[in-house]
Amino acid sequence: MAIRKPMVAGNWKMNGSKELVQQLSDAINNVKSDKIDVVIFPPYPLLPMLTAAGVTTGAQTVSENEAGAFTGEVDAQLIKDLGGEYTLVGHSERRNVYGESNDTVAAKFSRAQQVGLTPILCVGESEEQREQGQTELVVAAQIDAVINKLGLAALKDSVIAYEPVWAIGTGKTASPEQAQNVHKFIRDKIADKNSDLAQGLTILYGGSVNEKNSELLFAQPDIDGGLIGGASLKAGLFTAICESAKGTV
């Protein structure tokens, strides 16, 4: 069985400042170790500052297009040139607020890999979909969009983040058992086609993760770390979550 290295990813969303970079970069660097990967997804303008401070960074989204007449968009190649190593694709806010389809997300995933960024594919169901028993159907369709476009092997150089939409920024959190069940579904779905790839795939949980629930979440066998929102903006909370991830190794 492959040994998966835990990851804690902080998504700052449309928050942050030069001052916040200065406040948090030392704390982030101090909590890094060989045991875990720590990645920060700041607003675009702050990415070079964090990278220069020694923090591993990524973009919150990238365009599916190459450079050209796409006002307001940012090409994955520029993120790579500025030192970014990852990008989120398909975050629920991109899907729900900006109307990104599964096909658009798959195209962004493809563009990220073309330039050497590691995409973190975000998947998850709404509260209504969960209540209707559609969680696995929705998550499978979101993953299949990438597999159908790029082939199963594309998942080897990626990360998946399960983020139930009803738990993002709401204070509601999937129980460790609920989260584990979906993570196991994802891993089993991929293992049906390639067990080695599935065992090596990092799958994160996102959705109101905090310093109080992270230890129990990360202790689940198929949860390999977290995609952290609000708590990643506070040094004490974020480093406590990182320490929880270290404790699983």
232 annotated to bind ligand: no
Q: Which of 64, 91, 100, 183 is catalytic?
A: 91
Question: How far apart (Å, rounded) are the C-alpha atoms in residues 11 and 241?
Answer: 14
Q: How far is Cα of residue 132 from the mean position of the Cα atoms in its chain?
A: 25
Among 25, 63, 30, 59, which Cα is nearest to 242's? 30
208 annotated to bind ligand: yes
Q: Which of 64, 100, 125, 163 is catalytic?
A: 163
58 annotated to bind ligand: no
229 annotated to bind ligand: yes
Among 132, 134, 203, 207, which Cα is nearest to 165's? 207
11 annotated to bind ligand: yes
Rounded to a whole number of angstroms, the CA Rg of the chain reads 17
102 annotated to bind ligand: no
212 annotated to bind ligand: no
The question of whether 183 is a catalytic residue gets the answer no
Q: Return binding residues.
A: 11-13, 169, 208, 229-230
Please list the active-site residues. 91, 163
Q: Return binding residues for substrate.
A: 11-13, 169, 208, 229-230
